[in-house]
Structure 1
Amino acid sequence: MTKRLLSLDVFRGITVAAMVLVNDPGDWGNIYAPLEHSKWNGCTPTDLIFPTFLFIVGVSIVYSMERKAAEPANHAAMLWGALRRGLILIAISLGIQLILHPGFEHLRFPGVLQRIGLVFIICALLFIKTSQKVRDWLFAILLIGYYMLMSFVPVPDTHVASLDPETNMGAWLDRLVFTTNHLWSESHTWDPEGLLGTLPAIATGLFGIRVGTWLKRKDRDDATKVSWMFFYGILAVVSGLIWDMFFPINKALWTSSFVLYAGGWSTIALAASYWLIDVQGRTRFTTFFLPFGMNAITAYVLSDFIPHYINKIKLGSSTLYQILFQPYLSPKNASAAYAIIMTLLIWVVMWILYKRRIFIKV
């Protein structure tokens, strides 16, 4: 039986906790800069959360599937299982929207869980059916091909290539496929989790598979593994910064430079976690994050539902945030304090599930 990688569960938990923190501020108009997404080009710590999820998806595929994938007789069942799990993630996202905001007229078709589901299905297929050499070639083809497509191919409705929000090739494709009623942006003209951006997002998953495959090697000692992970992580970050000079780092477009930059930081963070937790055995600080990491999807769902319904609680015409936070703190501190309380509240639920050994999987 494959030994569970504690550092990966903790790393996932840290990522989930960060996701809850940035998704649930008290006031979207008053947020500290590191807790906001970049306006367009550039990258904040918040921008690194989603690609880290997809990186972890890739690493997890290796740890959960490698043994079974070695037997071709298992492939059909594994592929059906991957398809089922991916479709469930997509259904969960659409279900959350319909519960919190009933009606199909403006149902957003792209989304975070939708992209995770698609990337999981495709990366699982590639892991089961292709070699690492083939995946490395696909990684390069996806990044270079996406760069060429976005930078040089004219967009059909403007006849010029563009990297701007409403006029890039991805935005045009999303309007064509989903129509403007079913996109995220206020203008309904583009979506940060659109179809075309899923191609480089698959490369992020493949990045994780590459690192997971290296981490599972039996012919290298832990010091060698970690040293090379740090080296390749730094190399990827530097490569992303160089590519940024002519293909900007941009989370909304999921540019190729962003894939390298974010993947590099994920590799560095996982290397540090693996060395501290699995090699050195320093686990005291993991207590807070493990409940999030072991029930990531549940935490994601609750981060939508719990703040939504708490915000509906009012005393007179004032919300709890307006009563308990705004009068006593500066606007940004009040907003951040509320986000911290929401994170802790969701953690309490995760802790109860963790202590009772209840792990909700899809």
Structure 2
Amino acid sequence: MKTSSTNNRLLSLDALRGFDMIWILGAEGIFAALFTLTGWELWRVFAEQFKHSQWHGITFYDLIFPLFIFLSGVTLGIAGKSLLGVSTEQRLKVYKKALLRLLLLCFFGVLYNHGWGQGAPVDAEKVRYASVLMRIGVAWFFAALIVWHCNLIAQISIAIGILLTYWFFQVFVAAPSGFSGELVAGESWNSWFDQHFLPGITYQNMSPDPEGILSHIPAIVNALGGAFAGKIIVQSALHTKQKLLFLTGFSATCLLLGYLWSLLLPLNKTLWTSSFTLVSIGWSCVLLIIFYFLIDVLNWRRVGMFFAVIGANAILLYLLSSLFNWQYFINSLLGGLVSRFDNSVGPLLAIVALVLTQWLLAKWLYEKKIFMRV
């Protein structure tokens, strides 16, 4: 982790990361507030998309987490780093840096899990170790090792192998606590692994944990999918239109295969099924295409910068959302003003104030060139 000056970054990548992050910062409630204000059915439909699926199925909110993993892979593809033919000494330096990044993300994940003034328990058995940041770190770490040591054909083969093996293991191999093909929470392989090998507690005592052990494996493919998209973007031999066509073809292929597969293997974020992996990669790539086209091709820089100031410090803002009670701060600062409005307008103003305050902090950090890099 370090603070550093800005460097040459793909603006659409930071912008898309910021767009992803803004829904975690509180903007996800804006559609419910708009429905309360207007009563328009469209806002209610949008509001439903900002709730996680109860079990099988997929909503927009289910895509927020996989998109972060996908974008971490895009950076791998854009960097184009390879360790083939590199000396052992140089490799060890890269490995140490990658391992340190993984460990820091795991630590920050525990910090986030026990935020809001609670503090991590003294009893190690009461700590929740599994986290969103750990999942991002693990997926990136193993995807990086694959990208650094394998050519493109090998990367694709490994990704396919992971998805097929995970599907076969989940569906056709009977778990000790259930029967083969049972994608029921407490009877799945994911649940069994978390009960026997995941230290500490699970999220809300759920079994399996949404960020549990076994579902780390297919998430690696999300990062590899991002790496493939990143490779396309930096291909100097391709014209912009060709890049967009390749990205569109890639996203369409993932969506088609994922939804067809879901007829046999349900889309499930908690289990992170192979069908969910493909569909989440496909939609992540669709969003990347939109942002890349609007910001880096059509040069909509102002739109890009609005989101990029958040995306450039996404991890810091994510941690602050747990370590600092923004809602309490907004209520203390503007609670009197918001209370002057009726119950239909007040919630909307509160959400706008919440997000705008965090955005202003992100903008200040961006202008001061202060970035938290992990």
Equivalenced residue count is 349
CA contact (8 A) 1:173 1:195 kept: yes
Residue equivalent to 2:40: none
| TM-score, structure 1 as length reference | 0.87
* 1:78 pairs with 2:83: no
Q: CA deviation at 1:336?
A: 6.1
Q: Deviations over 1:119-172 (max 9, x none)?
A: 121111111111111110110011111111111111112344421122211011
Among 9, 21, 36, the alignment partner of 1:4 is 9
Q: Deviations over 1:58-108 (max 9, x none)?
A: 0111223x2564661332211211111111011011123345323145321
Q: CA RMSD in A?
A: 2.8
* 1:94 pairs with 2:110: yes
SS across alignment from 1:19: coil
Residue equivalent to 2:173: 153
CA distance in 2, matches of 1:287, 1:309: 23
Residue equivalent to 2:18: 13
CA distance in 2, matches of 1:125, 1:235: 25
Residue equivalent to 1:356: 368
Q: Structure 2 vs 1, CA of residues 228 and 97 (structure 1 numbering), >3 Å: closer, same or farther?
A: closer
Residue equivalent to 2:57: 42
CA distance in 2, matches of 1:118, 1:161: 27
CA contact (8 A) 1:7 1:274 kept: yes
CA contact (8 A) 2:109 2:129 kept: no
CA distance in 2, matches of 1:214, 1:287: 23
Q: CA deviation at 1:254?
A: 0.9
CA distance in 2, matches of 1:325, 1:191: 39
CA distance in 2, matches of 1:334, 1:69: 55
| Percent identity of equivalent pairs | 28
SS across alignment from 1:20: coil
Q: Structure 2 vs 1, CA of residues 353 and 309 (structure 1 numbering), >3 Å: closer, same or farther?
A: closer
CA distance in 1, matches of 2:113, 2:17: 24
Q: CA deviation at 1:338?
A: 4.0
Pairing 1:1-362 to 2, within 5 Å after superposition: 3-21=8-26, 32-64=47-79, 66-67=80-81, 69=83, 72-73=86-87, 74-99=90-115, 100-102=117-119, 103=121, 104=123, 105-178=125-198, 182-185=201-204, 187-306=205-324, 308=325, 310-311=327-328, 324=338, 328-330=342-344, 338-362=350-374
Structure 2: gaps of 5 or more residues: 1-6, 37-43
User: Which has the higher relative contact order, 1 or 2, with Cα contacts under 8 A spaced 6 or more apart?
Assistant: 2
CA distance in 2, matches of 1:13, 1:127: 25
SS across alignment from 1:75: helix
Amino acid at match of 2:107: A
Q: Deviations over 1:296-346 (max 9, x none)?
A: 11111112223x36449999xxxx87994698325xx86665444332222
Range that drifts further, 67-76 or 292-301: 67-76
| TM-score, structure 2 as length reference | 0.85
CA contact (8 A) 2:313 2:362 kept: yes
CA contact (8 A) 1:144 1:256 kept: yes
CA distance in 1, matches of 2:26, 2:154: 38
